[in-house]
Amino acid sequence: MLDIDNSKIENEKKIALEILLYNNKGSFHGLPRTAAWGYPEPYTRDLMISILGIAVSKNKELIDSYRKVLVTLAKNQTIHGHIPSLVHDKEDRGSSVNA
C-alpha cells in the first residue's frame, strides 16, 4: 500500500494555484500568460493544458479568466475551425501556412 503524505499534496496544490493566479494577469488583451517567468504570450496549447488544473481548482477568478480565453479563441478561429497558436492573434497559426 502507498504511504501518501496528504500535507505534501495540499502544499503542492497550493503552490500550483499560486502560479496559476500569478499567470492570470497577462499583458496581451487581458488574457493569462502561459509562463510568466519565461514568456508572457498567451499560447493556446499551454493554456488548454492549464485549463485542466483550473477546472478542478474551482477558483472562480481563474475559471472566469479561462472563459475569456475560450471566447477569444472562438472569435479567432478560421471558418474551418482552426485556432491560433497565440490566443489573441487571429493570424498566428504556428506555421508558415495560414488556414
The answer to the question of residue 60 being in a domain is: yes
The answer to the question of residue 67 being in a domain is: yes
The answer to the question of residue 36 being in a domain is: yes
Domain count, the chain: 1
Average pLDDT per block of 10 residues along the chain, 99 residues long: 82 92 88 81 89 92 94 90 85 60
Inter-CA distances, 45 with 4, 7, 17, 64, 65, Å: 32, 31, 19, 18, 16
The answer to the question of residue 31 being in a domain is: yes
Would you give the end-to-end CA distance of the chain in angstroms? 52
In one-letter notation, the amino acid at residue 91 is E
The answer to the question of residue 3 being in a domain is: no
The answer to the question of residue 12 being in a domain is: no
Structure letter (DSSP) for residue 29: T
pTM over 0.85: no
Q: What is the pLDDT of residue 99?
A: 45
Domain that residue 72 falls in? 18-92
